[in-house]
Amino acid sequence: MSLKIDLAFIQPAEHRPKPTFSDAGAATIPLIDFSPLLHHQIPSNPSNPAIPNEISSLIAAIGAACRDWGFFQVINHGVDPQLLERIQAAAIEFFALPAEEKLKVKRDEVNPLGYYDSEHTKNVRDWKEVLDLVVREYDDGLLVLKNRWPEYPPAMSSTCEMYIAAVEKLSYKLVELISLSLNLHAKRLNGFFKDSSCYFRLNYYKPCPTPDLVLGVGRHKDSGALTVLYQDQVGGLDVKRKSDGEWVRVKPIPNSYIIIVGDIIKVWSNEKYESVEHRVSVNSEKARLSIPFFFLPTFSTNVKPLEELVTDENPAKYEEYNWRDYYSSRLGSNFKKMDKENLQISHFKKTTI
């Protein structure tokens, strides 16, 4: 694959990587051990006096991370490391295929799922290849989401389906713990994810000879509820620290997941919790693989601050919006890479009088 860069595709100045980031700051990133869940069930009621201390500490740690960072890393999360190895191997095998083979499952203007490569697309903003798949296909006549499974490697579909099931299970644990940290019933948010619109992505960032001119992914916040992200040992993910606005490089930890709080959690929590701005820098020598799972509600969900968290002293900070309409409006930028502005939750922010 050619590494020549078309200067017309270079990131706008405001999206280029900053020349420095805080490597030392990685030590301050919340790292949360989920091993207590190997011995205890997630409690249903946050006020239950019988909750074990280690579970209470886990809930408190997640609440603090969501409030202060909008981001944390988890270890001992319950996803089989061998499954992680299998999904990585399948991804590497797919991205190593000739371009003409991968392009057999390329996304198009009708169906945004499948393969995408910045090198073969105009109006590029990201330096990467991706394969997008949804957990549940969807077609309402206007929005069409149909998986395009590649023929090679042969075990791709079965491996992805097993992996998705494992990470979806982890995602439910995460939202239950987040609910408890908000002093809500553990399953308060679960109903929003029945017949969810979750999707799964394989990201491959090829080496770039001029990494200062492009980004793997430009600075952004995730619009969904949670992103459960695996990154390999090459690294390159930066998050913007809430306390001082400094970019912090996320150090890869073997068999760990990075949990990114999205805008929906920010709205549900009425801004008690933050959604984090993040970006991906490319490497001049090494390819990088990452595997995000986007935990998203069902399309019929109307997103607004949870009524339990709204009071006269703390009124709702956002107008209600429909997730299907919001998601569809962002497809032109996030999937199809068309030249159109993203809809943001800031458009639904209430103004104070």
Name the residue with tokens 């962002």: 330
Measured between alpha carbons, how far apart are the two ends of the chain, in Å?
A: 56
- Residue 2 or 60, more confident: 60
Taken in order 238, 295, 165, 153, the sign of the CA dihedral is negative
Total residue count of the chain as it appears in this document = 353
pLDDT of 8: 33
Report the SS3 class of residue 68. helix
Residue 325 has pLDDT above 70, yes or no: yes
Lowest mean pLDDT among 46-50, 111-115, 343-347: 343-347
Domain ranges of the chain: 24-348
Q: pLDDT tens, 194-245?
A: 999 999 999 998 887 665 655 556 788 999 999 999 999 998 899 999 888 8
Q: List, in order, residues 6 or more apart from 186 with CB less than 8 Å away.
A: 42, 43, 44, 45, 46, 176, 177, 179, 180
pLDDT of 2: 35
Q: Which CATH superfamily is domain 24-348 in?
A: B-lactam Antibiotic, Isopenicillin N Synthase; Chain (2.60.120.330)
* DSSP code per residue over 317-341: -B--EEHHHHHHHHHHHHTS--S-P
Residue 343 has pLDDT above 80, yes or no: no
Count CB atoms within 10 A of the CB of residue 328.
15
Phi, psi of 156 (to 5 degrees): -55, -50
210-211-215-216 Cα dihedral, nearest 10 degrees: 100
Average pLDDT, the chain: 86
Highest mean pLDDT among 16-25, 63-72, 231-240, 273-282: 63-72
Q: pLDDT tens, 114-136?
A: 999 876 555 455 678 999 999 99
